[in-house]
Amino acid sequence: MGDTNMSKRRRLIPVALVVLLLTLVVVSTTWAAVGVDSSGLRTAVTVGAVRAHQQALQDIADANGGERVAGTSGHDESAEYVYNLLDEAGYNVSYQPFEFFLFQELTPAVLEQTAPGSVAYTYGVDFFTMDYSGSGNVTAPLQAVDLVLPPGSAANTSNSGCEMSDFATFTPGNIALIQRGTCTFRLKALNAEAAGAVGVIIFNEGQPGRQDLFGGTLGGPGVNIPVVSASFAFGTALNDLIPSGLVLHMMTSTAIETRTTNNVIAETPGGRTDRVVVVGAHLDSVPGGPGINDNGSGSAAILEVALQMAELGVEPRNQVRFIWFSAEEEGLLGSEYYVSQLSTRQIRDIAVMLNFDMIGSPNAARFVYDGDGDGTGTAGPNGSDVVEDVFNNYFASVGLPTSPTAFDGRSDYGPFIEVGIPAGGLFTGAEDLKTVEEAQIYGGTAGIAFDVCYHLDCDDFSNVNLLYLDQMADAVAHAVLTFAMTTSSVNGTDQGQGHANGHVLEYLGNLLQQ
């Protein structure tokens, strides 16, 4: 709804039309995206330029111990790289500093069987230390906590360790074996510690795609005992040994300190500030890896889109706010901080949030966040279906299939949808295994992860599918330009968090004033 010059003359409106429009207000919450020719921007955003940004991030990691972790020089230099390019391009650029707790593992953890046999397990193969694990050096029996074996379906997941009642028969001084599922890792670990556990092993749940060794975070300080993650196979193998008197030696050495890091925010000089389009990607990597797919892919793509919009002289109707979030890998801390600093008015002034986290996975698929929930059962806020349609319609127009992916809270859209901001985005897959059906649609290899280097040191410049990165970068450019230029609101209201169809309301209001 751009600015218009309206006549002050009134006109009579048929009662039937008023009734029809009011009916639409009640029953309609969708919005049709205004068509936009994005071909010029898509042509300007080349995969070579995106790769040049990824190479710069790789070089920064190489010069800083192989990583770009929030609160370290590797991330600081990454942020400076992004800031300088956008500043030169004419954006209003700023750093948004915030403090957080940086977790560091001082030495690799140890896990070994001391009874009934003697077996040393392999760090990074059998188990990982979870972020924000406490330190400890303990030897104790292992005790299972409310496991679901065999695992249930996706609709019947484990809630092992989610309630204190799960520990009713737990023996203080033992190590707790807990299954992933339902609640946060932090809650599981805190409950175990409160029940007297001296250590915790959280193993993967067991359904397809939730079987491998995984990295996870406890979300911040407060857990004072060792906590490690494990694959489903390793967890069940340990569980099978419990009747034989399994005793484990478990050791972690960790440190948590307060650090300062920065989100990088770049705004277009023009455009409506009451209908802002937020375009986000996280810039930090996990410890020990350069993070070139996760998330140098999304970061590089939105950077190039921003630069080419400036180069082409795009003057958006709606202000576009590009944000490179920090400390996503520590638990979405950068995006949580950003949203926490917004006033109610500023929240309402954000029309949509577009999130791009991992868009070049080697064994990729084209996943679009399921805004209406019809494919995954988990919908975004009112208006998120519009975002999904923009992506799906674009891919359909170029003859490329897509699949829905759920708003599972694992990326920076999470804090935005919690306050009712419509959201959407793209994803090419992480640690889950590609199915046979997905391999038939998208190519690649069934039975292996979309990104076998997810959260590992091999997530480097070579760990990218160039074809899919190119396709996704084009879709990023199309969606950003579409929402930047639209004259309609996204979620059925003029600003965020409404529930009626504001597009229809404004049309009715305009008619009543004519």
346 close to 513: Cβ distance less than 8 angstroms: no
The one-digit pLDDT tens for each residue of the chain (514 residues) are 223 222 222 233 333 333 333 333 333 333 444 568 999 999 999 999 999 999 999 999 999 999 999 999 999 999 999 999 999 999 999 999 999 999 989 999 999 999 999 999 999 899 999 999 999 999 999 999 999 998 876 556 899 999 999 999 999 999 999 999 989 999 999 999 999 999 999 999 998 878 889 888 898 899 999 999 999 999 999 999 999 999 999 999 999 999 999 999 999 999 999 999 999 999 999 988 999 999 999 999 999 999 999 999 999 999 999 999 999 998 899 999 999 999 999 999 999 999 999 999 999 999 999 999 999 999 999 999 999 999 999 999 999 999 999 998 889 999 999 999 999 999 999 988 899 999 999 999 999 999 999 988 999 999 999 999 999 999 999 999 999 999 987 865 444 443 333 333 333 333 223 2
Tell me the C-alpha distance between 201 and 226, whole Å. Answer: 9
Beta-carbon contacts of residue 121 (< 8 Å; ≥ 6 apart): 111, 112, 113, 127, 234
Tell me the C-alpha distance between 82 and 60, whole Å. Answer: 12
Provide the CA 242 distance to its chain's centre, in angstroms: 37
Q: Which two tokens stand for residue 357?
A: 């986290």
Which residues participate in catalysis according to the annotation?
Answer: 328
**103-256 placed in CATH 3.30.300.100:** no
Q: For residue 25, give Cα distances in angstroms to 239, 326, 499.
A: 57, 40, 9
424 close to 393: Cβ distance less than 8 angstroms: no
169 close to 192: Cβ distance less than 8 angstroms: no
What sections of 293-401 are H helices per DSSP? 296-311, 333-340, 344-348, 384-397
Tell me the C-alpha distance between 117 and 127, whole Å. Answer: 19
Burial string for 237-268 (b: 16+ CB within 10 Å, else e) reads ebbebeeeebbbbbbbbbebeebebbbbbbbb
What's the half-sphere exposure (Cβ side, CA atoms, 13 Å) at 145? 36
Q: Which of 186, 69, 106, 79 lies closest to 455 in space, CA to CA?
A: 69
Q: For residue 199, give Cα distances in angstroms to 112, 134, 187, 217.
A: 13, 9, 14, 15
Q: Which two tokens stand for residue 500?
A: 């009626």
pLDDT value for 368: 98
Backbone angles phi, psi at 513, to 5 degrees: -90, -10
pLDDT value for 153: 65
41 close to 477: Cβ distance less than 8 angstroms: yes
List the domain boundaries for the chain.
1-29+499-514, 39-91+268-485, 103-256
Residue type present at position 191: N
Backbone angles phi, psi at 293, to 5 degrees: -90, -45
Task: Assess whether the region 39-91+268-485 and the region 103-256 belong to the same CATH fold.
Answer: no
Residue type present at position 297: S
Terminal Cα-to-Cα distance of the chain (whole angstroms): 16
What is the 3-state secondary structure of 15-56? HHHHHHHHHHHHHCCCCCCCCCCCHHHHHHCCHHHHHHHHHH
Helix axes of 15-27 and 502-513: crossing angle, nearest 10 degrees: 160
Q: Which helix (H) or strand (E) holds 261?
A: strand 247-267
pLDDT value for 328: 96
We find that the CATH architecture of domain 39-91+268-485 is 3-Layer(aba) Sandwich (3.40)
438 close to 402: Cβ distance less than 8 angstroms: no
Q: Which helix (H) or strand (E) holds 94?
A: strand 92-115
